[in-house]
Amino acid sequence: MLWFILRKTTFGFRLRVVGQNPVAARFAGMNAARVSFATLALSGALAGLAGGVQFAGTTYVLYPDVGTDGLGFTGIAVALLARLSPMGVIFSAVFFGVLKTAFVALQESPLEIHSNTAQAMQGLLVIAVLIVSSPQWRRLVGRVMRRDRAVMA
């Protein structure tokens, strides 16, 4: 549904334009502040809905002291690994779910590896994705590849 809103509606087009270049959006006649505020309000509403469903669905009662177990960080890591692609989010979320489940199982195994190690692995994965996706890294890899081709020729 969010894919449809982002890719097939006027609001989604405006949201993408304002997100990529607010100055160009203003020159095109879009109210960048209003689109940004609407996006902020919509994302807050969706986050609140997700949190309410999680707590109500897992505890059947809303307790103020129930922790989130790092779900916000995991959500950011999932979106980063998926490159904000809806299909990528599905695969990335399944990967992180398997990672978390595997480390919970390893905690109860004879190895006794703590389940918080999964969050450390997520952090390392996020750092690796950030490094590999940086423009400096791409330039460095391109330079090395060109040098290797020149040496081999």
Overall number of domains in the chain: 2
Q: Is 67 helix (H, G, I), strand (E, B) or coil?
A: coil
Query: Which of 47, 64, 81 represents a domain boundary (last residue)?
Result: 64
Residues 58 and 79 in one domain: no
Do 74 and 30 share a domain, yes or no? Answer: no
User: 75 and 36, same structural domain?
Assistant: no
Residues 72 and 60 in one domain: no
The pLDDT of 92-107, averaged and rounded, is 87
Residue 17 has pLDDT above 70, yes or no: yes
Please check whether residues 59 and 77 belong to one and the same domain: no
pLDDT for the residue 83: 80
> For a pLDDT cut of 90, what percent of the chain falls above it?
20
Q: Which is more confidently placed, 84 or 147?
A: 147
Query: Do residues 46 and 88 both lie within one domain?
Result: no
Residues 59 and 94 in one domain: no
Average pLDDT over residues 92-108: 87
Q: Is the pLDDT of residue 60 over 60?
A: no
Last residue of a domain, one of 64, 80, 95: 64
Cα separation, 69 vs 55, whole angstroms: 12
The mean pLDDT of 89-95, rounded to a whole number, is 90
Residues 60 and 92 in one domain: no
CA trace torsion 12, 15, 18, 20 (10° rounding): -80
Cα separation, 95 vs 88, whole angstroms = 10
Radius of gyration of the chain (CA): 21
For residues 100 and 137, state if they share a domain: yes
Can you give the pLDDT at residue 65? 55
